[in-house]
Amino acid sequence: MNRSVRIALALSGWIALLATALPAAGPLRTVLTAAFVLVCPGAAVLRPALSPRAADAGGRTALDLLEDLVLTPAVSLALAVLVAQAFLLNHAFTVPRALGVLAVVTTVAALWPGRRGPRRPARADAAGPAGGGERSSGGRPPGAAPTAPRAALPRAGTAGVLLLATACTGGGVPALSGSTTGGGPPVPVAAAATAPAAAGPWRLVLQDDFNGTELDTARWARCYDWNDGGCTNAGNHEAEWYLPGQVSVGDGAATLTAARRDTVGSDGKTYPWTSGMITTGRDSWNATPRETFTHGYFAAALRIPPQSGMFPAFWLMPDTRTTPPELDVAEFAGSTQQVSMNVHWRGADGSDQHVGHNVGPVDFPAATHVFAMDWEPGAITWYVDGVQQWRVTDPQQIPDVPMELLVNLAVGYPSAPPASVNSAALTVDWVRVWQH
């Protein structure tokens, strides 16, 4: 492998790392990072000679070329998985961190001074043996290129060790708990409560593990800021009327219960459902919010209900009582198998502008999952089970106002529950907020 190719390999990881600053769904970011992860680490470690000219010069066969084509991506993926697993086991996985480690490994391997160029045939004795007859070493016919089976052993051994190590750590790519694809373990729910997945430093400013038997009403309200004997979200034309009695605490969790029960709201309308919610906002319109946040890392361990027609959400809204802006850490509108992450902002004409990202399919009701969002002045990043899922960096989309935190179980958006569904429950194991 010549010097220019080795330098290109050494730079490839840093280019991929810089590409993470591009929009998350952008094709250029996807191509640069995918090409690096799939090819460059393995190429730097093995230093294959893939060109026909190199093959001819080194006495290489088609089998040698096939070996390169197979081992290079295999070693690349094995290294990527090992790095990802190491971060996941320490509850610190982010894409930039993993790419940074791979970039260092690739750079060191590519610039290592050891020779790994094309394998050359053994030189025949120029003068020939005594007696004048031309002979090649090892008894090969004159002019025949020597085979080099032994040279392939270290390369195959390297790949074998890496692949074996990958299998021992669980194999696969990092996946969400409950997913039908992938195989990497998620960050455990208990571990995710101890530290954010995003780089710090951090200080914990809100923590509730719901360990008692009653909700801490000094920390949580049980209705929107427009509470008047209960409340609802009329903007979504939801079917529930929120009441304090639909929130309970026990067995180390808060439970928000929706029940099919005709309930007359203070607005005079009859709602077919009643449900529960918690928020750091006000008890009533003129009251003071319990707590608001401008920037921070917001996380909650939630188990959503399996019933259709429910709309569980973990989100933030301004303390001005109006949206946009709005930050949706996790919403399940119309599906229990797909979580939505959204940011809303006010357009130049005052209209609600928004952009979102979906993660799934995952059987979210089957287990508790940790949904989190890192809201910084220059970026917003979403996580599920400690794994980064989406990022927004457009300044006009990022709010800079105090916001209240909410967890609620709405009903009937975007469609009503089937007649066979009469109740549902959203379980909240814990809620955390960290700030710098």
Is 211 found in the same domain as 151?
no
In a domain, 92, yes or no: yes
pLDDT one digit per residue (tens) for the chain, 436 residues: 678 888 888 899 899 889 877 754 568 878 888 899 998 998 888 877 544 444 444 555 777 677 778 888 888 888 888 887 676 555 455 677 788 889 999 998 888 876 444 444 444 443 433 444 433 334 444 444 444 444 444 555 555 555 555 555 444 334 454 443 333 445 667 667 788 999 889 999 999 999 999 999 999 999 999 999 999 999 999 999 999 999 999 999 999 999 999 999 999 999 999 999 999 999 999 999 999 999 999 999 999 999 999 999 999 999 999 999 999 999 999 999 999 999 999 999 999 999 999 999 999 999 999 999 999 999 999 999 999 999 999 999 999 999 999 999 999 999 999 999 999 999 999 999 999 9
Q: Which pLDDT score is estimated for 139? A: 43
In a domain, 288, yes or no: yes
Q: What is the number of H-type helices and E-type strands within the chain?
A: 7, 16
The pair of three-digit structure tokens given for residue 251, joined into one six-digit string: 């067995």
Nearest residue to 269 via CA among 232, 225, 224, 243: 232
Residues 6+ apart with CB under 8 A from 39: 72, 73, 76
Phi first, then psi: give them for residue 245, nearest 5 degrees: -65, -10
First to last CA, the chain: 47
Q: Which pLDDT score is estimated for 430? A: 97
The pair of three-digit structure tokens given for residue 316, joined into one six-digit string: 């933030």
Is 221 found in the same domain as 152?
no
In a domain, 284, yes or no: yes
Is 53 found in the same domain as 83?
yes
Tell me which residue range forms the domain holding 113.
3-126+146-174
In a domain, 182, yes or no: no
Q: Which pLDDT score is estimated for 241? A: 98
In a domain, 137, yes or no: no
Is 76 found in the same domain as 198?
no
Is 197 found in the same domain as 113?
no
Is 157 found in the same domain as 196?
no
- The count of domains in the chain is 2
Is 318 found in the same domain as 198?
yes
In a domain, 106, yes or no: yes
Is 204 found in the same domain as 167?
no
Over the range 96-129, which residues count as b (16 or more CB within 10 Å of their CB) and which as e?
bbbbbbbbebbbebbeeeeebebbebeebeeeee
Is 216 found in the same domain as 161?
no
CATH of the domain at 430: 2.60.120.200
